[in-house]
Amino acid sequence: MTTSEVTTEIVATVREWVEREVMPVASDLEHADEYPAELVAAMKELGLFGVTIPEEYGGLGLDLETYVRIQIELSRGWMSLSGALNTHFISAWMIGEHGTEEQRERYLPAMARGERHFAYSMTEPHAGSDVQAIRTRAVREGDEYVITGQKMWATNALRGTNVMLLAVTDPAAEPRHRGMTAFIVDKEPGREEQPGLSISGPLKKLGYKGVETVAMSFDGLRVPAANVLGGEGGVNQGFKYFMGGIELGRVNIAARAVGIATAAFEAAIRYAQQREAFGKPIAHHQAIQLKLAQMATKIEAARVLTLEAARRKAAGERADLEAGMAKLFATETAAEVALEAMRVHGGAGYSPDFVVERIYRDAPVLILGEGSNEIQQLVIARRLLERYAV
């Protein structure tokens, strides 16, 4: 089979699984804020935890575009499932791209099987978009680093077996990003208290429920120096490594946005043909038709931007402009489409009995995550000024 045929087959398999197993239970799990353990286990069986991990390390070895299409399908069913994969996927990419061979052999096969599940932690209570303001410190003591500090909004950090962590190793560095290092932290899954590390219970959120989001407190956690991403050569290179991961994360966020916008549109156009007002289905009223046309057009534009960003990143090209554009447009589209879908539903859209209520609550986190959309616009503008310099 060609790569294109493999992509088509696996995406179709995921879509069928989502429609059969996810959609019937997603809203109940979401409203209960219940971790979807059985669905995550099924995702491991489907090989989704190793989609982009090279075959030599036990993964499927598929490209970023395939991963994006899978994320669209998962989010179309329930966005929280994509969250179970995203931090894991970014961490696998970082290990494959920057890790030592020993680190690749140690982690990637187990990650592909889903035996290791990674969180990705950069944000702190006082440092979100301003990554250079992080304070978590890692101090070298012999063959170990001692880590102290706090992290916030860490997805998969409680149930996960590992955390890809960014910490300051040279506080005197100028600029500050030159003094940061990425660490592969091994931890016990499911334990809130372990030596040197405390993990909070799940943080309360408007939406994006089911998937765990926690705070972490490090108090003298000891990590082997061998767990510096990239080995000795990776010391003080962590900011660069994490920013490469964030580019991937922005493509993933855009894919999630396309997925939930698609789900909202499908719910709206189905409801519009079933609901009658003034003697005919509301889909026959021009006001509703204009909404449906705008929704579908913007979703398709978001899909094209997202796939183009994925292609550029997969080709090894600089993709911060394309990833920023995709993330900005797709997430704003998702929020707009979610609201328009609720309007198409009328009062019913405000009820938890209809999926658009859940999507409406999920959409805002995409505008904020992986760099707010205000930050995206600054990134886009700076790259455009570089490209069109006079």
Enzyme catalytic residues: 370
Q: Which of 356, 379, 360, 376 is nearest to 368 (CA)?
A: 376
Spatial neighbors of 145 by CB under 8 A, at least 6 apart, are 138, 139, 167, 169, 183, 222, 223, 224, 225, 227, 228
DSSP-assigned beta bridge partners for residue 121? 165
Give the separation between CA 61 and CA 42, rounded to whole angstroms: 19
Q: Do the Cβ atoms of 3 and 63 come closer than 8 Å?
A: yes
* Amino acid type, 126: H
The alpha helices in the chain, defined as continuous H runs, are 3-17, 26-32, 37-45, 64-77, 79-98, 101-113, 238-274, 286-314, 320-345, 355-368, 373-387
* Amino acid type, 327: K
First and final CA of the chain: distance in angstroms? 48
DSSP per residue, 162-217? EEEEEEES-TT-SSGGGGEEEEEEE--TT-SEETTEEEPPPPP-SS--SS-EEEEE
Give the separation between CA 138 and CA 223, rounded to whole angstroms: 9
Q: Which of 221, 266, 230 is nearest to 356 (CA)?
A: 266
Q: How is residue 171 written in tokens?
A: 């506080």
Strands 280-281, 213-224: parallel, antiparallel or unpaired by DSSP? Answer: unpaired
Q: Do the Cβ atoms of 60 and 13 come closer than 8 Å?
A: no
Q: Residue for token digits 């429920």?
A: 209
Q: How is residue 304 written in tokens?
A: 């094209």
**Would the CA dihedral through 224, 228, 234, 236 be positive or negative?**
negative
DSSP-assigned beta bridge partners for residue 217? 150, 198
DSSP-assigned beta bridge partners for residue 222? 146
DSSP-assigned beta bridge partners for residue 166? 182
